[in-house]
A and B are shown apart, each in its own frame.
Chain A
Amino acid sequence: MKEYVLLLFLGLCSAKHFIGPSHFTLKHMMLQDMEDENDDDNSLFPTRRPILQQVPFDIFPVCPFGCQCYMRVVHCSDLGLTSIPNNIPSDTRMIDLQNNKIKEVKENDLKGLTSLYALALNNNKIFKIHPKAFQSTKKLRRLYLSHNQLTEIPANLPKSLAELRIHDNKVKKVQKEAFQGMKALHVLEMSANPLDNDGIEPGSFEGVTVYHIRIAEAKLTSVPKGLPSSLLELHLDDNKITAVELEDFIRYKDLQRLGLGNNKIKDVENGSFSSIPNVREIHLENNKLKKVPSGLPDLKYLQVVFLHSNNIAKVGVNDFCPTGGSTKKTLYSGISLFNNPVKYWEVQPATFRCILGRNSVQLGNY
């Protein structure tokens, strides 16, 4: 155990080097918030062995037939189960029920599982979750509900949730009280749902500090304005967004990564990016932009801008880099402009005077 703690520390120290400063912030915050203070063993695969129970004739602890139970992990994936097994050991920390045929999470299915930390229910046929189903699971941090038939965010999810994945369901609506009191919810993945802008009720993210939201492959026509102001990463790729407007990012002033690729954006209103001065990465590829969005030279930390596959016909010498007194704190490491009407020989070399190296820009189809 000691060695493991040491290993963990080592990992954390070295991780700083690899992740780099831009992600350290996010990682640091997540580390603090995703770990239970009084619990050093919160990984999905626990590291501590259970104490062997000395029951003479019951050589195996209770474990649903066909599942594997070890170290408080119950593995029941791919078994064709039509309901959640009822003899799950009460000290279980993680249950893997993915890829079964479960239709419903009933009131007592998770009863007494007070130590449950992670629950994987992805790839089932769940259309209904009882409003009291999560009453016992007060420590649940990770809930995976992707690839099911849910039409809304389940009511009364545990307030302890740190990560919720509900990709590829039929969610049309995020109710006002959906995330109420979930102070530690940090990752929310709800892509591939038929969600439009009106489906997100105002105030539904009040008091929630989510750092990473992805609502891709949905029916959004503009950047949602009511998302948490704590956002560090916002991914809205593959939607039907037609324009970026001045007030779109006013709430999200800490944003570091912005994904808007594969939309129908024709225009980014002047000054839209001035409210996100810390942004590192902007992806606007596969849109209908006619020019490089304004305001990029003022983003001191911007390193990556993807603008390929748009309708950009002209690139000005001051579109990317600042002029005069102001300077960038970090140089560009990735600018993509290929697959645009603009010809590379029409772009002045001085346009890219603030890039890391000559490989940082990809211009034409050469």
Chain B
Amino acid sequence: MKVAVFFLLLLPVCWAKPFHQKGLFEFMLEDEGSADLPPTDSPDIYLPGAVCPFRCQCHLRVVQCSDLGLEKVPRDLPSDTTLLDLQNNKITEIKEGDFKNLKDLHALILVNNKISKISPAAFAPLKKLERLYLSKNNLKELPENMPKSLQELRAHENEITKLRKVVFNGLNSMIVVELGTNPLKSSGLENGAFQGMKKLSYIRISDTNITSIPRGLPPSLTELHLDGNKITKIDSESLAGLVNLAKLGLSFNSISAVDNGSLATIPHLKELHLDNNELVKVPGGLAEHKYIQVVYLHNNKIASVGPSDFCPPGYNTKKASYSGVSLFSNPVQYWEIQPSTFRCVYERSVIQLGNYK
């Protein structure tokens, strides 16, 4: 039995282990622009061979072209480039041939540009791409046909309103998806949109307009971060099957109710953040939960805390003691809570009760 439990515990670790890319990460490069522009902007001169674009730095197969005011992806990048950093430029569009020849590219950083359009074929040559950073752009939708090799996708702070299943389907290497700060609504989220990613371990959809926990999340998930949304309740259905979930972030929502049995569906949860919500009581099931260690409940409307809300009755059957519980900024007064409520806590100092530290 012990062995079985141990392996079960290792399971999420294996899935989480993901990042074995051979990638490098250094940066930057740019071209004083060759082609395509009218001659007043830049000369149309063919420079033989793929030299490092002017003002960029190229070394260790990393092409670093950030902060150069570039309006398009430089041409003639060295074909052995593994990392291309184009952040903080003024690129408006990713065109079909922009990354041709970059068959060794592992990481592409396009953060902080003005990209509103990505050609459907633009990423096709990037057979080894593992990291794609698109944060801080003007994308309304994620591009289709992203490389199957992709492990990490960041599209924070764009104008994304829709997430379609077809965009993620078959991205079976994907581990991290970060989609925070987008004008996303629950209605724009196709049911099971993330289901097609068999190894997905981390999702963050923070600071959007979604009103419920997305349905059909893949069972491989170990972390789910949905803080700063408009979620009103935790329903057991949406968390069902997330047997590997270890961290759940739901701070700064409008959650007033946690369905009974919700926590039982996520048996390996270790850390639960429910601070800054509308909860009127401690969520049920904490006492029976074996592995939970951190529960943030501060800034809610909890008016009373019962002696069995956190710890099992009698002999401690928890496998891990609490290492952090916060209850401050709630209507409940700390002198109304029985000391035995926290009998299964590692040490008294991990509990934050009143408005004192």
Interface string of B51-71 (1 = CB under 8 A from A): 110110111110000110000
Binds A, one of B9-17, B116-124, B160-168, B326-334: B9-17
Contact A283 B32 (CB under 8 A): yes
List B contacts of A68 (CB < 8 A): 176, 202, 223
Shortest distance between the CB of B109 and any CB in chain A (Å):
10
List A contacts of B57 (CB < 8 A): 187, 212
Pick from B43, B59, B67, B268: contact of A191, CB below 8 A. Answer: B67
Q: Is B204 part of the binding interface, using a Cβ–Cβ cutoff of 8 Å?
A: yes
Q: Is A359 part of the binding interface, using a Cβ–Cβ cutoff of 8 Å?
A: yes
Q: Which of A263-285 touch B at CB < 8 Å?
A: 281, 283, 285
Q: Is A333 part of the binding interface, using a Cβ–Cβ cutoff of 8 Å?
A: yes
Assign chain A's interface to a size class: 35 or more
Shortest distance between the CB of B345 and any CB in chain A (Å):
15
Query: Known: A7-B22, A49-B20, A68-B202. Is A34-B60 also a contact (CB below 8 A)?
Result: yes
List A contacts of B104 (CB < 8 A): 11
A109–B108 Cα distance when bound, in Å, is 29
Contact A23 B55 (CB under 8 A): no
A58–B13 Cα distance when bound, in Å, is 10
Contact B80 A26 (CB under 8 A): no
Query: Known: A7-B22, A59-B12, A73-B19. Is A19-B67 also a contact (CB below 8 A)?
Result: no
Pick from B43, B48, B176: contact of A336, CB below 8 A. Answer: B43
List B contacts of A212 (CB < 8 A): 57
Pick from A20, A44, A56, A362: contact of B6, CB below 8 A. Answer: A56
Q: Is B138 part of the binding interface, using a Cβ–Cβ cutoff of 8 Å?
A: no
Shortest distance between the CB of B200 and any CB in chain A (Å):
13
Contact A167 B268 (CB under 8 A): no
List A contacts of B181 (CB < 8 A): 78
Most B CB contacts (10 A, CB to CB) among A118, A189, A335 go to A189
Query: Known: A43-B26, A146-B88, A338-B39. Is A304-B19 also a contact (CB below 8 A)?
Result: no
Q: Is B357 part of the binding interface, using a Cβ–Cβ cutoff of 8 Å?
A: no
Shortest distance between the CB of A23 and any CB in chain B (Å):
6
Q: Is B143 part of the binding interface, using a Cβ–Cβ cutoff of 8 Å?
A: no
Interface string of A345-366 (1 = CB under 8 A from B): 0000000000011011110010
Query: Known: A15-B78, A59-B12. Is A261-B32 also a contact (CB below 8 A)?
Result: yes
Query: Known: A18-B78, A43-B24. Is A60-B16 also a contact (CB below 8 A)?
Result: yes
A23–B50 Cα distance when bound, in Å, is 11
Q: How many A-B residue pairs have CB under 8 A?
A: 191
A99–B45 Cα distance when bound, in Å, is 37
A143–B251 Cα distance when bound, in Å, is 32
Q: Which of A165-191 touch B at CB < 8 Å?
A: 165, 167-168, 187, 189, 191
Contact B18 A365 (CB under 8 A): no
Q: Is A77 part of the binding interface, using a Cβ–Cβ cutoff of 8 Å?
A: yes
Shortest distance between the CB of B198 and any CB in chain A (Å):
18
Shortest distance between the CB of A10 and any CB in chain B (Å):
9
CB closest residue in chain A, given B39: A338
Pick from B78, B106, B154, B247: contact of A78, CB below 8 A. Answer: B154
Query: Known: A59-B12, A338-B43, A359-B45. Is A147-B88 also a contact (CB below 8 A)?
Result: yes
Q: How many residues of B contact A (CB 8 A)?
A: 80
Q: Is B270 part of the binding interface, using a Cβ–Cβ cutoff of 8 Å?
A: yes
A15–B44 Cα distance when bound, in Å, is 26
Q: Is A27 part of the binding interface, using a Cβ–Cβ cutoff of 8 Å?
A: yes
Q: Is A343 part of the binding interface, using a Cβ–Cβ cutoff of 8 Å?
A: no
A11–B104 Cα distance when bound, in Å, is 10
CB closest residue in chain B, given A335: B45
A348–B48 Cα distance when bound, in Å, is 25
List A contacts of B55 (CB < 8 A): 214, 216, 235, 237, 259
Contact B58 A19 (CB under 8 A): yes
List B contacts of A27 (CB < 8 A): 58-59
Pick from A23, A52, A187: contact of B51, CB below 8 A. Answer: A23
Shortest distance between the CB of A16 and any CB in chain B (Å):
10
A66–B180 Cα distance when bound, in Å, is 12
Q: Is B298 part of the binding interface, using a Cβ–Cβ cutoff of 8 Å?
A: no
Contact B45 A333 (CB under 8 A): yes
A218–B206 Cα distance when bound, in Å, is 37
Contact B135 A99 (CB under 8 A): yes
Q: Is A123 part of the binding interface, using a Cβ–Cβ cutoff of 8 Å?
A: yes
Contact A362 B20 (CB under 8 A): no
Q: Is B260 part of the binding interface, using a Cβ–Cβ cutoff of 8 Å?
A: no
Interface string of B183-220 (1 = CB under 8 A from A): 00000000000000000001010110000000000000
A117–B107 Cα distance when bound, in Å, is 18
Q: Is B284 part of the binding interface, using a Cβ–Cβ cutoff of 8 Å?
A: no
Q: Is B271 part of the binding interface, using a Cβ–Cβ cutoff of 8 Å?
A: yes
Contact B50 A18 (CB under 8 A): yes
A165–B28 Cα distance when bound, in Å, is 11
B interface with A by C-beta (< 8 Å): 6, 9-10, 12-13, 16-26, 28, 32, 39-40, 43-52, 54-55, 57-61, 66-67, 78-80, 82-83, 88, 104, 106-107, 111-112, 131, 135-136, 154, 156-157, 176, 178, 180-181, 202, 204, 206-207, 222-223, 225, 227-228, 246-247, 249, 268, 270-271, 273, 291, 294, 319-320
18 pairs from A and B in contact (CB 8 Å cutoff):
A7-B22, A18-B80, A23-B52, A45-B23, A57-B9, A59-B12, A59-B268, A60-B247, A66-B204, A68-B202, A71-B20, A78-B180, A80-B228, A189-B28, A192-B67, A237-B55, A308-B39, A338-B40
Since A44-B26, A142-B26 are in contact, a sample of 9 more A-B pairs with Cβ atoms closer than 8 Å, ordered by chain A residue number, is: A56-B6, A60-B246, A60-B270, A99-B136, A189-B28, A283-B32, A308-B43, A333-B48, A334-B47
Leading 5 A-B pairs by shortest Cβ distance: A44-B25, A336-B43, A43-B24, A45-B23, A334-B45
